Amino acid sequence: MGSSRNNLIVLGLVVVLIGVAAYFIFFRQDVRDATRLGLDLEGGVSANLQGFQENGSEVTREEMEQAAQVIRQRVDSLGVTEPEIQLQGQDQVVVNIPGVTDTERAVELIGRTAQLGFYEVLAVAGGQQPVPAEEVEDVKKDLRAELEGDPAFEEGETQILFEETELPEGGGTVVSGYVLPAEPAVRGNALDSATQARDQAGLLEVQMTFTREGGDQFGDLSQRIVDNALANGTPGQGQLAVVLDEDVVSAPRIDQAIYGGQVSINNPGAGGLPQNEAEELEIVLQTGALPVNMEVLSVTTIGPTLGADSLRSGLIAALVGFGLVLVFLVVVYRVLGLVADLALLIYAFLLWGLIVAIPITITLPGIAGIVLSIGVAADANVVIFERIKEEIRRGKSPRTAVALGYGRGFKAILDGNLTTLITAFILFALSTGSVRGFAVLLAVGVVLSMFTAVAVTRALLGVVSGRGFGLSAGMVGVSKKSIASAGARDAERQGAR
């Protein structure tokens, strides 16, 4: 019969697969680095951001891809290892940074639009008396009302933006309001580079150098400011506003046209830019603006201790559960149970190999998926073994029973596993982040378990139930009494029909 040869071929294939898995787990790299761990097990920051447009229009996939690119450059400039940046759905991006726990800085840096613009100032208000921090909003409201009455203000054509300068040592905040055109005359893409530097007084600032074309645009803008100031009878009093993300960062007076020059963002009133602000500006200006605005949806920071605890408890749970299932199968199914145990061990090893080879990042929900898939894998064996026992009770020889059990049990397993796969796919399609880890591992586990239960267990059983072994009914956990009573029941059932 060809089936015994088929069994040997399947077992040979399994040995090869185990070899491949062993290569991926143990030999390609150190075994401790083999499995890629998620942030919830390793510690780090994970942020989920959603892109949106100021005017409410739809965010396109291309814009998000550009944004992801810019975010990657910014995260890289933080100097962290292996950040992970993924687009999710139409307009979301997930940023995972292992090992970093300074959430605020990381998130601020990632999510800052960094839209830079240079404007001609049309009207100014405020900017004299410093006020305490809690009064800033009230002052802004007053300034807005004042500027809306200014002849330079035209609804739709212009906008009102504010500059806040915090004085050192609790000296309060100076608030100025500006009427600016709706669109900037020169944009951030005119920049060639941005670097931190110190001015003559040794105060920290960020210097921006224009590209050749950008320099010309900036020169034209400065010329216009000078000309308009002259026309208005206030020569030398024209102001330029440097705006970053809706905030005026500085508004220097321009008394002559500047071509091909350098512009800097500084804060002389407050003793220069704070160190972290200067670094951040350098990074966001250097990497360019995000094509969309970003809203932070969720931020998770996991400490390394918590991650390690979670990993340890998850592993203990998985191993204890796995061990008990192995024991249970042997108690109930005797020799068949041993075969199933061997198949389950092969399953577990191949699953690990797959996780390393693909690679799948293991997260806490992922561990739950693996644990559940152990149940699924064991169950496929149970379904088939119960069938085999049933056939033996009906008086079939163990060998025939194995063949019949597989034929009939397979349909039930297929239907059952399909429902689990459907659940996994729905979870994957309709969820984000961590839940996906669960869905992926459950699905991979279910598919692999079909292979081990149907191919591996079958081949092993084929060998065991072969002529040389002499598998008896008692060895698979069927008592003589139940064989007799099953026969009686079959007769009864025939009668009922």
| Nearest to other proteins of 286, 361 (CB atom) | 361
The tally of CA atoms less than 13 A away on the side-chain side of residue 143 is: 25
The DSSP output letter for 236 is: T
Instruction: For residue 305, state whether it binds other proteins (rule: CB under 8 A).
Output: yes
Total of chain residues touching other proteins, rule CB under 8 A: 71
Measure the CA–CA gap between 78 and 99, rounded to whole angstroms: 12
Range list of β-strands (E), 90-151: 92-98, 116-120, 123-126
Minimum distance from CB of 37 to other proteins (Å)? 15
| Interface pattern 379-398 for other proteins (x via CB under 8 A) | x--xx--x---x--------
Alpha carbons 270 and 163: distance in angstroms, whole number: 13
Under a CB-based contact definition with an 8 Å cutoff, are residues 242 and 118 in contact?
yes
**Contact residues for 292 (Cβ-Cβ < 8 A; gap 6+):** 51, 52, 53, 59, 63, 64, 67, 91, 113
φ, ψ (nearest 5 deg) of residue 330: -70, -40
Residue 472 C-beta: closest distance to other proteins, Å: 20
In whole angstroms, how far apart are CA 345 and each of 31, 47, 223, 383, 409?
Answer: 18, 37, 78, 18, 22
Which stretch, 9-17, 147-155, 248-256, 315-323, contacts other proteins (CB under 8 A)? 315-323
Binding to other proteins (CB under 8 A) within 423-462 occurs at 423-424, 426-427, 430-432, 434-435, 438, 442
Which 101-120 residues touch other proteins, going by CB under 8 A?
Answer: 103-104
What is the separation of C-alpha 302 from the centre of its chain, rounded to a whole number of angstroms?
Answer: 14
Q: Give min distance, CB of 135 to other proteins, in A.
A: 18
Pick one of 304, 357, 463, 483: the residue that binds other proteins (CB under 8 A): 304
Q: Figure out which of the listed residues 118, 210, 322, 352 binds other proteins, where binding follows CB under 8 A.
A: 322
**Of the ranges 7-15, 129-137, 254-262, 328-336, which one interacts with other proteins (CB under 8 A)?**
328-336
**Does 306 interact with other proteins (rule: CB under 8 A)?**
yes
Question: Looking at beta carbons only, is 180 or 302 nearer to other proteins?
Answer: 302
Shortest separation between residue 47's beta carbon and other proteins, angstroms? 10
Asked if 416 touches other proteins (CB under 8 A), the answer is yes
DSSP 471-496: --TGGGT--HHHHHHHHHHHHHHHHH
Residue 226 found at the interface with other proteins (CB under 8 A)? no
Asked if residue 6 binds other proteins (CB under 8 A), the reply is no
